[in-house]
Amino acid sequence: MSEQDTLTAYHEAGHAVIALMLGRSVHEVSILPGGKRLGYCEMRKGGRQPKDALEADLLILLAGMAAEAKVSGQYGLGGASQDLQMAEKLALSRAGNARQAQRLLERALDKVEHLMRDATTWSAVALIAEELLKSRFLSGRAARHFHEQAMARGKK
C-alpha cells in the first residue's frame, strides 16, 4: 500500500462522507485507477435535496482535497485538479465574476475544512478510507454503513 493509495483513499472517502452528510446518494467509491483518475466517488440522483444544491456540490467537490490535506498536511492540487476545475465553474456560475467566485470557493473550503475537523465526521472518513485501502472498492450501501456507524459512535 503506497502513500498515494492512502491519500487517494482519504480523498475519495472525503467526497463520500460529505455527500452522505448532505443527503446525497452515493452509488460507489473506489481507489481503482482508471483513465486520468486514481479513484472516484460516484453519486446517483435521489436522496434528500439540500436547500442550496450548488453549495452542496461545491462542498462535495472540495471535500476530497480537504480530507487528503488533513492526512498529508498540504493540498494535493494535482490530484484534485478535476474537482477544482468543476468547483471553479460552479462558483463562477453563481458569482458572476472571478473575484467573487474565488471568495465563494474560499468560503466553501473553509466550511468543508471545519466539517473535517469534527471528530465524528473525521471518524467516518477514516473508516471509509481504511476499508477502501483493504478492498479498493465500496458500494454505496457499504459507504452508508460506515458513515452511519461513525455517526452512531459519535452520539455516545
The amino acid that residue 130 corresponds to is E
Q: How far apart are CA 60 and CA 45, in angstroms?
A: 14
Count of alpha carbons within 13 Å of 153, Cβ hemisphere only?
Answer: 14
Cα(first)–Cα(last) distance of the chain, in Å?
33
Q: How far apart are CA 64 and CA 137, in angstroms?
A: 16
Does 12 participate in catalysis according to the annotation?
yes
Count of alpha carbons within 13 Å of 24, Cβ hemisphere only?
Answer: 24
Q: Which of 3, 12, 106, 130 is catalytic?
A: 12
Q: How far apart are CA 129 and CA 11, in angstroms?
A: 8
Positions marked catalytic: 12
